[in-house]
Amino acid sequence: MIPGLLQIPAYVRRLLADRLPPLADEQIEARLAARLERQRLLHERPNTAFSFILEEHLFLRDLGGEDVTCELLDHILDLSELRNVEIQIMPLVRHHHAAIDGPMQLLETPDHQWFGYLEGQLYGQFVSDPKVVSVIQMRCASMRSQPLSLEDSQSLMQRMRGAR
């Protein structure tokens, strides 16, 4: 799925509406509000670098319908213009993929301590064990060479947006 920091409200609502067991409307709205609050980090912390690698198929899935996907593409293209945000697209066909085991995130504190975050179906795991964080760092480093360049990623998203 699209990372929470990049999601739009319509996409979040669709994701949460499809949850099993179902969530109450109040739960959906509370989770949406929390996600939107976290997204402020992208704009309020211009000295913090954010880097995302997104799978191309996420946009082809049309989660929520064509209008939601168009709005999502516009939103992500706008975010890609921020100096502190890098967005790359992993093409559909890629013979080597360092994140084949699933989504992962690396986090660095202001005092340069590293942590990882791994996501699964029903849980997320915050990782502080240096050996595990080292593995995540190696995989992320390898991933940096596998997606399209920043410019080619932006061009692909523009073409996908224009094709709708």
Judged against a pLDDT cut of 90, whether residue 152 lies above it is answered with yes
Report pLDDT for 59: 96
pLDDT of the residue at 74: 98
Q: What global pTM score does this model have?
A: 0.91
- Binning pLDDT at 50, 70 and 90, where does residue 57 land? very high
Name the pLDDT band for 101 (thresholds 50, 70, 90).
confident
**Average pLDDT of every residue of the chain:** 94
Determine the longest span between alpha carbons in the chain, in angstroms.
45
Residue 120 has pLDDT above 90, yes or no: no
Is the separation of the CB atoms in 64 and 10 below 8 Å? yes
Query: Does the pLDDT value for residue 30 go beyond 90?
Result: yes
Residue 73: pLDDT band (50, 70, 90) is: very high
Strand (E) or helix (H) holding 90? strand 85-90
